[in-house]
Amino acid sequence: MGTEIERKFLVRSDGWRSQGQSVLLRQGYLSSDPDRIVRVRIEGDAAVMTIKGRSRGATRGEWEYPIPLQDAEAFLEQLCEQPLIEKTRTRIEHEGMVWEVDEFLGDNAGLVVAEIELESEDQTFSWPDWVGEEVTLDERYFNANLIRHPYSKWR
């Protein structure tokens, strides 16, 4: 069984912008049920289907499989829940760990979060100075929930 241990934080400054490599992500959900999330994602010229189980703290089951780009495009256009999630992802190395900063587009524009994947929930790590409040357990920030409750409607 695959396992994902991920912590999520708000980004409090633009200090990350001059770092790392960025890529556009487009993703949609065949299922956004918290017990069985099925996501299709296109990142650059590669596509994957990811299946995730329910989160238990910062941990959940995760399985990811490459799929043909043409199939992913069809899923996103014809089968996935709408609207799609679009974001620019920047991967940044900080003190031996990789942070992923997601700057959301569309109805979620203005939302910028940073995520870090860990080996265990109690693993220690250093936070870059642009990392702010932790939102790992706040379900509003789950990508699958941003489809129905976009960031632009929170205010």
CATH number, domain of 72, equals 2.40.320.10
How would DSSP label each residue in 5-23? EEEEEEE-SSTTTTSSEEE
Given the residues 29, 65, 141, 151, select the one marked as catalytic. Answer: 29
Number of domains composing the chain: 1
DSSP 119: S
Residues in the chain: 155
Q: Are 144 and 50 in contact (CB under 8 A)?
A: no
Domain that holds residue 102: 3-153
Each residue's pLDDT tens digit, 123-153: 999 999 999 999 999 999 999 999 999 999 9
What tens digit of pLDDT does each residue of 58-79 get? Answer: 888 899 999 999 999 999 999 9
For residue 17, pLDDT over 80 is answered with yes
pLDDT for 1? 57
Q: Is 29 one of the annotated active-site residues of the chain?
A: yes
Which residues, 6 or more positions from 140, have their beta carbon under 8 angstroms from its beta carbon?
146, 149, 154
> What type of residue is 100?
E
